[in-house]
Amino acid sequence: MLFSHLKKTTNGQLSLDQDLEVSRFSTDTRNLTGHPSEVFIAIKRKRDGHDYIKNAISKGTRNFIVSSDIEVADVNVLLVSDTLKAFHQIAYHHRKKFKIPLIGITGSNGKTIVKEWLSTILSEHFYVVKSPRSYNSQIGVPTSLMEIKKNHEVGIFEAGISQKGEMEHLQKIINPTLGVFTNLGHAHDDGFDSLDQKLEEKLALFSNSEKVICRGDTSYFAKIQKQLGDKLVSWNPDGTGKYNVKWNPHYIAVNSYKFQTEFSDPSQLENLTHAIVAALEMGLAQDEIQRGVNLIENVPMRLELKEGINGCYLLDDTYNNDVIGLKVALDYLESHQQNSKRTLILSDILHSGLPDEKLYKDVSDLLKSKSVDRLIGVGPRISAAEHVFQIERIFFDSTDALLADLPDFKDEMVVIKGARDFELERVTQKLEERSHGTVLEVNFESLQYNLNQYRNLLKPTTKLMVMVKANAYGSGLLEVANFLQHQRVDMLGVAYVDEAILLRKNGIHIPIMIMNPHIASFDQFEKYDLQAEIFSFSYLNRMMRDTQKPPKIHLKIDTGMHRLGFAKDHILQLTENLKKHPDLIVESIFTHFSSSDMKSEDTFTSLQAEEFDDVYNQIVDALGYQPIKHACNSAGMVRWPQYHYDMVRLGIGLHGFDPSGELSLRHSSQLKTVISQIQHLKAGDTVGYSRKGKIENDSKIAIIPIGYEDGYSRIFGNGRAHVRVNDILCPTVGNVCMDMTMIDVTDVDVSEGDEVIIFGNNPEISDLAKWSDTIPYEILTNVSNRVKRVFVSE
C-alpha cells in the first residue's frame, strides 16, 4: 500500500514528501534498516518513541506515524491522536483483507509452545502464518498480523495481557475464528482484581469465535462454560467432553485415534493435546496430524546465544524456520555487537507457500538490509536459488555435507536457523567452544523484566548506571553489557580497567566508569574513552601527572561506608586541588549507602544523605557547575526515592535479587547439569573422599559433573544442599569433589543424561546462600568461567 493510504485508515493528518509503497512497520529504531518501505511508529511509553525520530532518519527511514508535531523535512509524516491505536487500526484493516481462518491462543502458560506445535502440525496441510516467538502484546500482535500474505491459508496468533482492558483491543484486530485457551495461572496477577476477573478478560478474545478449545476438568471450567456456552469444545482425561483423552506411555488417545509421542511430562502432554484437538477441529486427518507430531521434538523453543570456537558467538535458532522467524533472529542480532562479521547458516525454508524464486529473493533482500556478510545455505532448494543472493555464499545439499566440509569461522557472529528436518543443532554442537555438561543459562527476558521494574521507579530525567563488575555478577560481561547498551542504559560501571577495555574492544560505546582504576593504568583512559572513579589525593595527583588529557572523573565521597572515598574533613583540600586544574571535568559526585536495605539503619542512611548533600554543595560552589549527583544502589532505588538525585546505580537487582525485599523480580539465571552415571549401592557402602557419605539403606546414587572448581562449594556436601531432578529435591551425598558431586536419587525415576537443576526457581540461589551461610552475590559470582554460559530469549 502507499503511505498516503494510511490517512484514511487512521483518520490522521498527512504531510507528504514522496508517496512510497510501505509494508514494514516498526516501533523500535534499533530494528530499522532504512528500507524505503519501512514505517516508524513513535509510541509513547516509559520512553517516548518521538525522542528517537532523528535516530530513525539517520538510518534512512522516510515514513513516520506520530502523535506530536515534529519539525523535520523531506520525510512523510502521518499525525494521529494515538499512535498505538493507529497501529491497531492498520493491523485491523490488513487482517480484514484476508478471509482465512485465524486461530487465537491465550492463557497463562503454554501459549507459545501450543502455537509452535500446532503450526508444525497444520503445516502438513496448510500454508501457515504465525506470530513469531511470544509476540503477544499490544505491539507484538499487530506486528505479527502485518505478516499475513496472499499465499497463507491459516493464521495462528497468541494474545497475552497483563492488565484489564487490554484483551478488548487484541480481540478486535485478531478476531479469531477458532480459539484455544491453555490454562489459568497466577502470572500477571497484579494487573487484575481477582483470578475470576483475569479469566473473564482472557476469554474476551473469543467473543466472536465459532469454537473454543479448552481442557474440561479444571476448577474454573464451569466459569468458562458459563461465559462461552455452546461454542466450547472441551477435551477431558476423565472421559467427558467432545474429546475423550487418555495419556498412555508413548501415545495419546483422542477418542478413537492414537497419536504416538515421546513426551511424558504432564505439561507437555497437555500442550500437545491442545494442538492435536485444534488440528482435528481444522479438519486434518489422523495421518497428517501424526506426521506433524513426529516433527515435534522436546527442544528449546527459544533463541540461544552461546560462545563458539575461534572467538565466535553462535545465535542458535534451530527449532524452526520461516521468514518471519528469520527476521526476528536478525533483529535480535542487532543487540549483540561482539563481532562485526555476520554469517547466517540457513536451511531450506519449508511450507512457505511462495515460489522458491520469490521466497529466496525476499530472503536475499532481508540479508542485505540486515548487513549479513556471508550465507551458508543447506538444502537442495536454497542451493538451486544461489543466483539470487548478492553476498558471499556457499551451499551444501545436506547437513552431513556441511559437517564433512565445514568452512572456517573466526571472530564472527553466526546465526544458525533451520527447519527441524535438517538437524542443524549438530552444526551448533560442532561450533560450540565448550562441551562442559554444566551450563549457566541467563534469560534476557528476565533481565529486561527486572531492568524495567527498576526503571519504573525513576523519573524520566533520572539517569541509570548499571554495574557489570565481576563478570556481570557471574552472568557474562560481554553479553550482559551488549544487552544493556541495546536497552539504552546511560552508563556502565566496572571494577577494573581491563574489564572496560574488553568492553570497548567488543562494541560497547556508552560511557564506562572504572571503580578502582589501577594507579598505573591512567594512560589507557584517553585511548579507550574511559572515565575514572577518584577516591584519594594520590590517585588524583597520579592521574594528572600521567595523562596529557585527563579523563572525566567521578568523585567518590565517603559518608560512612569507610571503604573508599574522600572524607568530609578533606573536602576543602579537594576543592583547592580541583581549582588548580580547571580543564579537569568532574562528571559526577557520588557516595555509597552502606545499609540502604536495612530499616534498622534508616537513621544512619539519612545521616549519610545529609552529609553527602553538604559535601556536594561545597564542591559545586568550588567548581561553578553541577556534576551528576548519585547515591542509590539497588536497595536505595526502592527504599529511598528522595535520594535518586540525578542518577542511580543498579547492581544485583538486575539479576533478580532485591536487597530491600519489596520488589517482585525474576531470577535471571539457572545453573544446570546432567547425570553422568548411576550407582546402586548397598547399606554399609560409603561414598566419596574420606568415606564421608555413609549409606544406611540400599540406595541409588547419581554422579553429576559439577564440583568446587565450578563454583559448587565443598560446604554443599554431605546433605547440606539439595538439587532438583525430575521435580524432586535430592540431597548431596559425601564430600563435593573438584569436578563431581554425588546425589541421592533413590526415590526418583531417573536415567543417565537426565537434567539436574543446581539453582533456578527450585532450589533458588537464596536457598544455596542460606545453606552455606552467605549471600546470593557470592553464589552467583562463584560460578566458574569454565562453566558454559548460554543466553536465552524466549
CA 394 to chain centre: 31
Mark whether 527 is an active-site residue: no
d(CA 218, CA 235): 11
d(CA 767, CA 765): 5
| φ, ψ at 651 (rounded to 5°) | -125, -105
d(CA 673, CA 757): 7
The catalytic residue among 202, 469, 556, 672 is 469
Mark whether 689 is an active-site residue: yes
Q: Which residue has the cell 549457566?
A: 440
Euclidean distance between the first and final Cα of the chain, in Å?
32
Whether residue 694 contacts residue 672, with contact meaning beta carbons closer than 8 Å, is answered with no
Q: Kindly write down the DSSP assignment for every residue of 726-772, as one continuous string.
A: TTEEEEEES---SS-EEEE-TTS---TT-EEEEESSSS-HHHHHHHT
- Count CA atoms closer than 13 A to 766's CA, side-chain side: 11
DSSP 3-state of 234: strand
Question: For strand 788-793 and strand 439-443, is the pairing parallel, antiparallel, or unpaired?
Answer: parallel
CA dist 787 → 237, 688, 704, 705 (Å): 42, 23, 14, 11
The catalytic residue among 92, 127, 449, 689 is 689
The reply, when asked if residue 301 is annotated as ligand binding, is no
The reply, when asked if residue 465 is annotated as ligand binding, is no
d(CA 289, CA 120): 9
Grid cell of 573 as nine digits: 583540600
d(CA 339, CA 372): 12
Q: What does the DSSP 8-state code read for residue 460?
A: T
Residue among 264, 235, 261, 267 nearest 109 (CA): 267
The sign one gets for the Cα dihedral 176, 181, 184, 185 is negative
Q: Which residue has the cell 478474545?
A: 205
Query: 788: which strand partners?
Result: 439
Catalytically active residues, by annotation: 469, 689
Annotated binding-site positions for substrate: 563, 738
